[in-house]
Amino acid sequence: MSRLLIEGLPGQSNIEGARFEGARLQPCRKASQSEGALAPEGSSFVSGHDFSRAEGAPNREGALAPEGAEGASRRARSTAEGAIRRAPSTRVPHICPPLADVGEHEPHPAREDDPKLKEHCGVVAIHGHPDASRQAYLALYALQHRGQESAGIATADGTHLSNIKGMGLVSEIFTDEVLARLKGDMAIGHTRYSTTGDSALLNAQPIRVESTKGLIAIAHNGNLVNLGNLRIHLERKGAFFQTTSDSEIIVQLIAHSQATTLVDAIADSLRQVDGAFSIVMMTRDRVFAARDPHGFRPLSMGRIANPSGPDTIVFASETCAFDLLRAKYERDVLPGELVMVSADGVTSRQYAQPNQTSCIFEHVYFARPDSMIYGRWVQESREQMGRQLARESHAPADLVVPVPDSGVTAAIGYAAESGVPFRFGLIRNHYVGRTFIEPEQRVRDFGVKLKLNPVRNLLEGRRIILIDDSIIRGTTSRKIVRMVRQAGAKEVHLRISCPPTISPCFYGVDTPRKSELIAANNTVEEIRQFIEADSLAYLSLDGLQKACDGGEGNHYCVACYTGDYPTQWVDVEDILPAKDTALV
């Protein structure tokens, strides 16, 4: 089973491979552990378990300290075995191994076998359900497409706040045995694909921390673009970080806020961060949900009716999660809004002036077609993208074929508008894991051939219009075009249901550097030659915006297509004009 990180559970765990977080994490020197694994100081390994011995306490300045850590001066002595002694300093070392410089905000390079843009994560929150952990599990299961690296669920029952998280898929981590240990009628959950911070278990969410303002768990979707400056400022004030994730910045700001109430402290902290964040937070007795003033990432609120008592309130990154829970969609959390749910009901405040520039790529690729994002059904937007693409750049053809799964809905719209028959000429293998064993003799384009297989009797001798949602580096598009042509297609015309991607995203999307984006450095004709298609056309920016406009009044961020960023700070190195690169 997955290796788990467990926090706050009363008693001891009998889950094999579990480890209790509660002390300062250091590279493990135990011979029984793999090199580079993490283990708490002052802990012991018993039958595959790792039990922290120390109890947690906030430090004297109100900054956050990991459970099992004592934030005291040099003169203070440790009162618990394995506790941390901190000398007075204006800067506290990070409590994680030097896996990455957390001050940098650099996109991760995409892997050759997985070139699509990746969403940061999905978040959920449940308030007022007797089996909150299982409800969170189901919601995360529906949001698995938003992140596959790690997942976690935290629960609270008014007294305790417990947290379990691990690396892998939701179904791999949360077995019945694990879920049974998460008690309480409140829960928050997270499924992650990292864009900042290392992808290690240490940075899995929710993050659970103790402060003078109480025990808090947080799950965050998005990226903070003023991460480096905030972190340095907080460390100089005595902040003690448990992770390299930018999500912890928000909790540290709450702990250091001068506001007297938790709600005011949360609002104060959110006003200090810049960038994209849709967050859910939980204390022992309350749940909070908030979006940044731009509303970059989606966050919706729903309700499960309870005839015999108060209704269950749920939050999720996408409304498709509500369907599994039988929850009714009520509304989106507004940009710049902070919502609190307690035993007294739902309250809300506008902590910042809204200035909506929501990510349009949610409609292009990220979100599931059965979700309503920013008040508009994704299915409708994608079908309209395909229709508009047919109006702008149709080519004579015999079949419209989608690149599954992301190109399917746009291809349906293209076929309907053009009158060319729609067929599944490429079949996707949905059971390919994240890793696989290649044959000893490498097969050309093996990764793509493993995931997609052409239907030769449909493609042979025909003119094919191939529909996909985007081209990032161009390498996978070339492999797919070759595959269709090798299956006997007479012509292959590639149509893309969004404009050329010319700039990286800094708001929660894992994109390559500008120098690695094929459309940032080459003309459409040069790209066509590289991918070996008979013709290539993208949907225009105006066409994309029309397709995503159903009268909802949304304003979208299109920085990945224009380079015009809606926030004041970005990584200048990544938005400077890229040098010419050869298409090899």
Residues designated as active site: 121
Tell me whether residue 401 is exposed, middle or buried, using C-beta atoms within 10 angstroms of its C-beta: 0 to 12, 13 to 18, 19 or more. Answer: buried
CA–CA separation, 149 and 201 (whole Å): 9
H-run or E-run covering 137: helix 132-142
Handedness of CA 478, 483, 488, 489 (dihedral sign): negative
Three-state DSSP state, 5: strand
Tell me whether residue 244 is exposed, middle or buried, using C-beta atoms within 10 angstroms of its C-beta: 0 to 12, 13 to 18, 19 or more. Answer: buried
CA–CA separation, 292 and 352 (whole Å): 8
Nearest alpha-carbon partner for 377 in 386, 388, 367, 391: 367
DSSP class of 146: G
What burial letters (b/e) apply to 144-167, b meaning 16+ CB within 10 Å?
ebbbbbbbbbbbbeeeebbbbbbb
Q: What are phi and psi of 222, to 5 degrees?
A: 135, -170
Residue 286 makes CB contacts below 8 A (sequence gap 6+) with 186, 262, 340, 341, 342
Nearest alpha-carbon partner for 390 in 215, 226, 539: 539
Amino acid identity, position 442 = R
Residue 392 makes CB contacts below 8 A (sequence gap 6+) with 537, 539, 540, 543
Query: Could you tell me which residues are beta bridge partners of residue 156?
Result: 161, 186
CA–CA separation, 287 and 314 (whole Å): 10
CA–CA separation, 232 and 572 (whole Å): 19
- The number of angstroms, rounded, from the C-alpha of 300 to the middle of its chain's C-alpha atoms is 15
Amino acid identity, position 328 = K
